[in-house]
Amino acid sequence: MTTILSSLQSNILTLTLNRPARANSFNFEMINELRAALENAEQDSQVRCVVITGAGKVFSAGQDITEMQRGAEISYREHLEKTYNPLVLQIRRMGKPIIAAVNGPCAGAAFGVALACDLRIAHARAYFVVGFSGIALAPDSGVSLLLPTYIGLGRAQEFFYTNKPIFARTALQWGMVNQVGGFNFGTLVRRAAGTLSAGPQEAFKFGKQAFNRAVIPNLEDALNFEGILQEQAGKTAEHQEGVAAFLGKRKPNFELLAKNIIFSQK
């Protein structure tokens, strides 16, 4: 099955994350297909704006954890260097404007992808979850830099620590989302994409470069450091408990784990 659906209409390229049976979670195939589609769009003169959305009623649950578990000795840092780090940089460096049409829940690495886009238009049912702490990992995919850039450090830390959802209306109030729609969600996306498609493409490219340099000039360094931290976090007993709990569809017991570690050291 094609993991990225592509549709070009009126100079607007819509790329749909298409793994609905897995909540549109990212695997290697989907990341590679998305990167290839964005590269082709950058070179295609017919494309003047890109929209990224999800199939069905979910944007994306982030990284497919079951795929990560297939590799016994997988390096989280190497994984990020081959997948999300170049994807996030590609989105931020792409001259053509990119809209994240967040049609439903958006979590983990997918949150980073949405934050990297130029605009975010959310469905009223959508919500955002940082997600990483639920399986005892550090933020990655640019979330450690991009989320506090939009909502402030205090809020970013709160929602990383608690893993609470940021609902669409709240995200709009905080400036993380540009527009929110219900029944008119599709109309809002098409209208915004049409406006960008009709705009001055070279000026948009230069403007994006200016914003990148002024606000997030350290994005590549942040991504690299996220990889270092994720490599360490991925080797902890807490992460093993978090993954086991996720796969077992139960709540992780990090407190009991800590007590067992202390007891074993006595």
pLDDT tens across 132-189, in order? 999 999 999 999 999 999 999 999 999 999 999 999 999 999 999 999 999 999 999 9
Task: Report the predicted TM-score, pTM, of the whole model to 2 decimal places.
Answer: 0.94
Q: Single out the residue of 123, 122, 129, 106 nearest to residue 178, CA to CA.
A: 122
Looking at the structure, do residues 32 and 143 belong to the same domain, yes or no?
A: yes
Amino acid identity, position 24:
N
CA 215 and chain centroid, separation: 19
Would you say residue 197 lies in a domain?
A: no
Looking at the structure, do residues 114 and 241 belong to the same domain, yes or no?
A: no
Looking at the structure, do residues 10 and 103 belong to the same domain, yes or no?
A: yes
Looking at the structure, do residues 28 and 108 belong to the same domain, yes or no?
A: yes
70 confidence band (pLDDT: 50, 70, 90)? low
Looking at the structure, do residues 211 and 259 belong to the same domain, yes or no?
A: no
Would you say residue 190 lies in a domain?
A: no
Q: How many domains does the chain have?
A: 2
Looking at the structure, do residues 259 and 128 belong to the same domain, yes or no?
A: no
**Range of 167's domain?**
4-184+206-225
69 confidence band (pLDDT: 50, 70, 90)? confident
Looking at the structure, do residues 221 and 255 belong to the same domain, yes or no?
A: no
pLDDT at 258: 55
pLDDT at 28: 95
Amino acid identity, position 128:
F
pLDDT at 255: 80
CA 118 and chain centroid, separation: 13
Looking at the structure, do residues 25 and 96 belong to the same domain, yes or no?
A: yes
pLDDT over 70 at 203, yes or no: yes
Kind of pairing between the strands at 49-54 and 12-17: parallel
Looking at the structure, do residues 137 and 249 belong to the same domain, yes or no?
A: no
pLDDT tens across 98-127, in order? 999 999 999 999 999 999 999 999 999 999
Looking at the structure, do residues 74 and 174 belong to the same domain, yes or no?
A: yes
Would you say residue 195 lies in a domain?
A: no
67 confidence band (pLDDT: 50, 70, 90)? confident
263 confidence band (pLDDT: 50, 70, 90)? very low
CATH, residue 84? 3.90.226.10
The C-alpha atoms of residue 151 and residue 154 are separated, in whole angstroms, by 8
The C-alpha atoms of residue 101 and residue 190 are separated, in whole angstroms, by 10
